[in-house]
Amino acid sequence: MNNMLASNIGLDASMAKQRQLNVRSDEAYEIASRLSKRTGRPRADVVLAALLSYAEAKKLRKLSREERAFVDELMAAARRSAAVADPAMTSDHSDLYDEHGLPR
């Protein structure tokens, strides 16, 4: 948009020169819309905040080989454990406590 057109429709020149980012994704649109409604901020602000947060997270230090190996080992153990877990087992222990939260 040129400066003359921008001023004719009430935009300042800096707004007319802003670049746009178009994301063609129904999922991204829905998420941005939900967050926009929840926060009361425009979708563009929500998307920018998400991008800034992602960029900040990526600035964190990289893991050393030893740290990465340890994390991989833990994840593998978690997957093995989940594969053999009894689906009937729950963390519900309500039968051990009365209506006041005291042990039976």
Question: Cα separation of 37 and 32, whole Å?
Answer: 9
Does residue 104 lie in a domain region? no
pLDDT band at 89 (very low <50, low <70, confident <90, very high): confident
Does residue 94 lie in a domain region? no
pLDDT value at residue 62: 78
User: Tokens in use for 81?
Assistant: 């454990």
Does residue 75 lie in a domain region? yes
* Global pTM value: 0.44
Residue 1 pLDDT greater than 50, yes or no: no
Number of domains in the chain: 1
pLDDT digits 0-9 by tens, 13-54: 565 678 888 999 999 999 999 999 999 999 999 999 999 988
pLDDT value at residue 2: 47
Task: Output the 3-class SS for the chain.
Answer: CCHHHHHHCCCCHHHHCCCCCCCCCHHHHHHHHHHHHHHCCCHHHHHHHHHHHHHHHHCCCCCCHHHHHHHHHHHHHHHHHHHHCCCCCCCCCHHHECCCCCEC
